Chains A and B, each alone.
Chain A
Amino acid sequence: MNRFLLPLGLFVLLAVVLGIGILHAPEKGIIASPLLGKPAPQFSLPDLTEPRRLVRSADLRGRWYLFNVWGTWCAECRAEHGTLLRVQREGVLPLIGLDWKDDESQAREWLTRLGNPYQAVAVDASGRAAIDWGVYGAPETFLIDPQGIVVYKHVGALTEDIWSREILPRVSAARAGKS
C-alpha cells in the first residue's frame, strides 16, 4: 500500500500542475498585455479631422473610454467598423481612435464614407504611440477607466460578443458600485 503512495502522490501533483496550466493557458497567439492594471500611456497627438488641435490623454481623465487602434490598410478594422458605430450609438462611453501609420487623407475619406464612430482620432504617423501601448497588430481595443488605468484589452476585431460580454459588464459594474 505504502509503495503506491509516493508515485500516486507525484502523479496527482503533476496532474494538478498541468491542469492549472491548461485552464490558465492564454488563447493561442494572444499575448497578455503588461499594461493591464497599469496607467495608460500618455500621448499628445494631432487630431485627424482638425490637425491643428491635439488629442491628449490628460484631457480624457475622469471618464471611461475605449481606445481603438486602427488603420485604413487593416482589413479587420473594416470588419469591426459596424460594431464601433453601434457602440457609439449606444452612448455608454466615447471611442478614441488611434490612426496607426496611415495615409491621413485616406483615413478621413474612410470615416466620411463609412461613418465616424470616434469622438476624436489621434494620428500616430511615426508609430511611436502604438509602441507605447504595446500594439502589435491592428485592430486592438483598450478599455480605460476614469483613473486612467487600462482595465481590459482586446486584440483583433471588436465584436458584439466582446462588447456585451467583456467590456459593458466592467463599465456597468464599476458605475453601479460607485452610486
Chain B
Amino acid sequence: MRAVSVSAAVALAASIGAWAVDPTQLPDPALQARYEALTHELRCMQCQNESLADSPVDLAADLRRQVRDLLLAGKSDEEVRGWMAARYGDFILFRPRYSLRNAWLWGAPAALLLVGALVSWRVVRQRTTLLATDQAPLEEDGQA
C-alpha cells in the first residue's frame, strides 16, 4: 500500500514537471536552485511582463538555455546577469541595479522626505509666530 502511494506521488510529481513551461534539470541541486532563481528574475524580452521561467515563447527557451550553459560553465549569478544586460540592457533585469545613471531615482525618496520635513518645519514655525502676533489688542483689527 505504501509503495503504491509513493509511486503515485512520484507519478504525480513527474506529471507536474511535464506541465511546467521549463522542464530543465541541472545535475546539481544547488545549481538547479540558482538556475530557477535567475530565470525568475530575468525578463522575457518578447512578452515583457513575464519572466524567462514563465514564458513559453521560443526566445525565452533560448535564453534559459544560455543561463543553463553559463551556470554549467561555472559563471556566478552576477556574471550571468551581466552577460544578459550586455546584450539586452538593464531592462532584462526585473531587479534593477544601482548605477550612476539611476542614482537620483534611488535617492529621490530620501530627498523628497527631507524637503517635506523642511516645509513642515517652516509651516509650524510660521504658525507659532503668527500666534504670537495674534496676541495684539483686537481694536487694531477693527481700525484696519
For residue A25, CB closer than 8 A to chain B, the reply is no
Q: Shortest beta-carbon distance, B62 to chain A, in Å?
A: 4
Whole-angstrom CA separation of A6 from B121 in the bound complex: 13
The number of A-B residue pairs with CB atoms under 8 Å apart is 42
For residue A43, CB closer than 8 A to chain B, the reply is no
Pick from B89, B90, B122: contact of A134, CB below 8 A: B89
Do the beta carbons of B59 and A34 come within 8 Å of each other? no
Do the beta carbons of A6 and B119 come within 8 Å of each other? yes
Do the beta carbons of B86 and A34 come within 8 Å of each other? yes
Do the beta carbons of A31 and B88 come within 8 Å of each other? yes
Task: Give chain B interface residues in 49-108, CB to chain A under 8 Å.
Answer: 58-59, 62-63, 66, 85-91
Pick from B59, B86, B90: contact of A136, CB below 8 A: B59
Say yes or no: A32-B89 contact (C-beta < 8 A), given A6-B119, A101-B58: yes
Say yes or no: A34-B87 contact (C-beta < 8 A), given A131-B63, A131-B66, A137-B46: yes
Pick from A10, A127, A134: contact of B88, CB below 8 A: A134
- Residues of B in contact (CB 8 Å), total 18
* Chain A residues positioned under 8 Å from B45 (CB to CB): 31, 136-137
For residue B115, CB closer than 8 A to chain A, the reply is yes
Whole-angstrom CA separation of A134 from B126 in the bound complex: 57
Say yes or no: A132-B87 contact (C-beta < 8 A), given A10-B115, A127-B59, A127-B62: yes
Q: Shortest beta-carbon distance, B112 to chain A, in Å?
A: 10
Do the beta carbons of A31 and B62 come within 8 Å of each other? no
For residue A149, CB closer than 8 A to chain B, the reply is no
For residue A152, CB closer than 8 A to chain B, the reply is no
B residues at A contact (CB < 8 Å): 45-46, 58-59, 62-63, 66, 85-91, 115, 119, 122, 126
